[in-house]
């Protein structure tokens, strides 16, 4: 992977608002149907989970807290015994196929050896235990998923080299048998299937199958997803397997796949927006030596379907405060839609993993004749609000902590967390992504726009 030399990176104080990475359990427990997530932490973590991801707690979620008490902190209680007791209860109540322990700040500070205890307990209770350290000391929001998936790569079965060879053999046989020229394309398909492609990143199953279908159109079949719908359906990994990410925040997973499982990473832009989806497919095709078929036509069709939304946002400006690492991809898509991006705040920027995405961002800016936005890593929310007062963007994409106060100051906002929960991947969902972006702009009402600022803090911002 090559790093891109974009001189516009800045780094601020890291005083910004984002969700704690343990929030990933809120969507991962729904994705992996037979899992149970146990967050080993304090009341602070528990209160966050019950308040921020909201009402889901009432739907009998398959996640819970192992709440640490004073005796745990001062090591009066034995960690292993305590965890065993709790996991046995989880086993008898829910009988999951896997228990995922989420390590938190507290387990880091008191150096609770979760990785050491897990294999012992796994044997004793007979359920696999995966340990992910998704804590606020090291990570932000969506990076929580990254730590969980990185931990899961170790649980994926090793690919059987015979399978690869056999596929190859089958294909060879077919080539020999099928001699009619009309079947030639079919042969080629088989040949391509030899290459194993595993996609990583948690997406709703409908979106995953849409992406599968997009690749199928190019006669590339996806051999598996990380994570899978069920724990025991995890894809086989190993040498000769190609992997490609669907989300920009999965750099640890990518590293684990390359270094630990010897997979080959396809570094592509991410399939967000029709432009991103096309670039993503093209990159995968190029790796498998497939000539992409009808992609240009398909992209044009999608853009045509977006025309009403484009009318609303073209020429408008947007400011990303930054909290979920999707910012670069969404900004790139919005620039392609004709928006001006003033600033892309982002918690953490992996320039190698996001290299292709950054390149596409640069190309898009050039193509659309828009200035390259400044990319601010570890932003400082207070300074950002000051900058926003000067720039007066048409739209701020921000966390809930700032959304209402900004609205009261007459800056339209979109709640950034929605982008993590909504379906925005693939060409089909480009409309949904724009639906989110345009919603605050569409609801502009004449009657209240007269009283511009509705804030009460007049002296200070």
How far from chain centre, in Å, is Cα 405? 27
Query: What are the distances in angstroms from CA 341 to CA 281, 335, 345?
Result: 25, 7, 11
Q: Which of the stretches 130-138, 165-173, 195-203, 427-435 binds other proteins when contact is defined by CB under 8 A?
A: 130-138
Determine if residue 20 is labeled as part of a ligand binding site. yes
Query: What are the distances in angstroms from CA 393 to CA 1, 318, 332?
Result: 35, 5, 17
Determine if residue 45 is labeled as part of a ligand binding site. yes
Query: What are the distances in angstroms from CA 308 to CA 335, 381, 395?
Result: 16, 33, 18
Taken in order 290, 296, 299, 301, the sign of the CA dihedral is negative
Q: Does 118 engage in binding with other proteins (CB under 8 A)? A: no
Residues near other proteins (CB under 8 A), total: 67
CA dihedral 269, 275, 277, 282 (to 10 degrees): -70
Helix, strand or coil for residue 415? strand
Q: Does 252 engage in binding with other proteins (CB under 8 A)? A: no
* For other proteins, the closer CB: 2 or 43: 43
Rg (CA), the chain: 24
Name the minimum Å distance from CB 321 to other proteins.
13
Binding mask 136-165 for other proteins (x = CB under 8 A): xxxxxx------------------------
Distance CA 4, CA 27 (A): 32
With beta carbons less than 8 A apart as the criterion, state whether 434 and 306 touch: yes
Q: Which of the stretches 103-111, 158-166, 208-216, 435-443 binds other proteins when contact is defined by CB under 8 A?
A: 103-111
Query: What are the distances in angstroms from CA 56 to CA 28, 52, 158?
Result: 13, 10, 35
Name the minimum Å distance from CB 401 to other proteins.
4
Q: Does 282 engage in binding with other proteins (CB under 8 A)? A: no
Binding mask 309-338 for other proteins (x = CB under 8 A): ------------------------------
Footprint on residues 58-97 left by other proteins (CB under 8 A): 58, 61, 64-70, 72-73, 77, 82-83, 85-86, 89-90
Q: Does 220 engage in binding with other proteins (CB under 8 A)? A: no
Helix, strand or coil for residue 259? helix
Element (H, E) at 290: none
Helix, strand or coil for residue 4? coil
With beta carbons less than 8 A apart as the criterion, state whether 68 and 106 touch: yes
Determine if residue 105 is labeled as part of a ligand binding site. yes
Q: Does 400 engage in binding with other proteins (CB under 8 A)? A: yes
Q: Which of the stretches 2-10, 54-62, 232-240, 305-313 binds other proteins when contact is defined by CB under 8 A?
A: 54-62
Among 2, 43, 184, 366, the residue binding other proteins under the rule CB under 8 A is 43
Helix, strand or coil for residue 348? coil
Q: Would you give the DSSP letter of residue 40?
A: E
Binding mask 2-31 for other proteins (x = CB under 8 A): ------------xx-xxxxxxx--------
Among 183, 382, 410, 442, the residue binding other proteins under the rule CB under 8 A is 382
In the Cβ-directed half-sphere of 319, how many Cα atoms lie within 13 Å? Answer: 25
Q: Does 379 engage in binding with other proteins (CB under 8 A)? A: no
Among 402, 411, 425, 429, the residue binding other proteins under the rule CB under 8 A is 402
Name the minimum Å distance from CB 6 to other proteins.
25
296-300, Cβ contacts within 8 angstroms, sequence gap of 24 or more: 298/274, 298/427, 299/274, 299/275, 299/427
Binding mask 433-452 for other proteins (x = CB under 8 A): --------------------
Among 1, 4, 52, 359, the residue binding other proteins under the rule CB under 8 A is 52
What ranges make up the beta strands (E) of 399-448? 413-415
* End-to-end alpha carbon distance in the chain: 43
CA angle, corner 40, sides to 136 and 142, nearest 5?
40
Q: Does 264 engage in binding with other proteins (CB under 8 A)? A: no
Residue numbering of the annotated binding site? 20, 45, 105
Residues that bind other proteins (CB under 8 A): 14-15, 17-23, 40, 42-44, 46-48, 50-52, 55, 57-58, 61, 64-70, 72-73, 77, 82-83, 85-86, 89-90, 105-106, 108-110, 135-141, 382, 385, 399-405, 408, 454-457, 460-461
Q: Residue ranges for the binding site for [4Fe-4S] cluster? A: 20, 45, 105
């Amino acid at each position: 992977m090559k790093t891109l030399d974009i001189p516009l990176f800045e780094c601020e104080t890291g005083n910004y608002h984002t969700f704690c990475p343990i929030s990933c359990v809120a969507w991962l427990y729904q994705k992996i149907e037979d899992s149970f997530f146990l967050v080993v932490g304090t009341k602070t973590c528990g209160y966050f989970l019950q308040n921020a991801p909201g009402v889901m707690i009432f739907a009998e979620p398959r996640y819970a807290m192992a709440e640490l008490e004073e005796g745990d902190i001062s090591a009066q209680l034995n960690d292993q015994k305590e965890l065993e007791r709790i996991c046995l209860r989880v086993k008898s109540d829910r009988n999951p196929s896997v228990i995922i322990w989420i390590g938190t700040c507290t387990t880091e500070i008191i150096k609770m050896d979760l990785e050491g205890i897990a294999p012992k307990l796994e044997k004793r209770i007979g359920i696999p235990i995966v340990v992910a350290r998704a804590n606020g000391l090291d990570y932000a929001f969506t990076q929580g998923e990254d730590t969980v998936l990185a931990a899961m790569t170790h649980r994926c079965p090793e690919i059987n080299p015979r399978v690869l060879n056999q596929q190859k053999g089958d294909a060879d046989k077919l080539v020999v048998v099928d001699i009619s020229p009309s079947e030639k394309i079919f042969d080629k398909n088989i040949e391509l299937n030899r290459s194993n492609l595993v996609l990583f990143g948690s997406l709703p199953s409908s979106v995953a199958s849409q992406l599968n279908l997009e690749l199928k159109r190019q006669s590339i079949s996806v051999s598996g997803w990380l994570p899978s719908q069920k724990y025991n359906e995890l894809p086989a990994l190993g040498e000769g397997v190609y992997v490609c990410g669907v989300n920009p925040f999965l750099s640890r997973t990518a590293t684990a796949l390359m270094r630990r499982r010897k997979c080959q990473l396809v570094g592509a832009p991410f399939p967000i927006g029709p432009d991103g989806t096309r670039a993503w497919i093209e990159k995968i095709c190029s790796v498998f030596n497939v000539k992409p078929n009808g992609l240009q036509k398909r992209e044009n069709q999608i853009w045509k379907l977006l025309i009403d939304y484009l009318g609303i946002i073209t020429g408008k400006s947007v400011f990303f405060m930054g909290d979920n690492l999707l910012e670069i991809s969404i900004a790139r898509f919005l620039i392609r839609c004709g928006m001006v991006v003033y600033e892309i705040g982002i918690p953490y920027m992996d320039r190698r993993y996001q290299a292709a995405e950054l390149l596409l961002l640069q190309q898009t800016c050039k193509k659309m004749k828009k200035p390259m936005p400044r990319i601010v890593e570890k932003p400082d929310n207070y300074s950002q609000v000051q900058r926003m007062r000067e720039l007066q963007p048409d739209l701020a994409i921000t966390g809930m902590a700032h959304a209402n106060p900004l609205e009261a100051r007459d800056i339209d906002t979109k709640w950034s967390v929605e982008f993590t929960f909504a379906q925005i991947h693939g060409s089909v969902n480009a409309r949904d992504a724009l639906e989110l972006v345009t919603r605050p702009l569409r609801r502009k009402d004449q009657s209240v726009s007269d009283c511009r600022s509705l804030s009460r803090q007049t002296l200070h911002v």
